[in-house]
Structure 1
Amino acid sequence: MENPFEIILERLDRIEKAIKNLNVGETKAPVDELFDIAQVASYLKITKSTIYKLTSTSEIPHYKNGHKLYFKKSDINEWIFSKRIKTCDDIEKEALEYLRRNPKKFK
């Protein structure tokens, strides 16, 4: 007859291995990359003085801790891509949609 403690220990070992295998697949949420003034200037390919101007007028998203400025890469990307210029086709589609929704205004 087998020792019940040995059976329990074997089962515990299998459970531990199974748990370790489950944890291997887990990934932590990526940490947003943090830029300082020089890094964001380099990333945007503009001068540091331009970055200072953009922060002083609150045009660019940033964080301030004491006298240090910080920028989240995701905020910078979102800010850049929110400045999209509409094409002529985009403007024409909007105009046609506006006319379709408001036909009485233009009769």
Structure 2
Amino acid sequence: MQDVDDTRPGTGRPVLTPDGRELLSLDSWMTDVWAGRSRPVLRGENSLVSGTFSSDGRFLAVADENGRLTLWDGRARRALAVLAEDGPRGGEPQRVVAFSADGRYVAASAAEGSVQV
């Protein structure tokens, strides 16, 4: 498994899929927790600061250190949309990304306290 740098801004934590079978590290590698195999999965993403899956696993939202917020197909691992090119202050990273309970909305917060939905 790839090492995760807990000193980066954001959650500093890998993201577990809702079924608990895979773990996404902040360098965009996915590890099968049962088999112990890792592979790169999010093409064009690196230096992630936060990420989360919707509760049903259909979507994955990730924020990088440049403030970009991207929505991915949680199962096929393909980019669906860039929701924000820059963070709230033109490049400040999003700190935490979260989905609403029904998975219809994604929210991202910044260090200064703002939240974008």
TM-score w.r.t. the length of structure 2 is 0.21
- Determine which structure has more spread, i.e. the larger CA radius of gyration: 1
Flag the structure with more relative contact order, 1 or 2, with Cα contacts below 8 A and sequence separation at least 6: 1
Whose helix proportion is higher, 1 or 2? 1
TM-score w.r.t. the length of structure 1 is 0.22
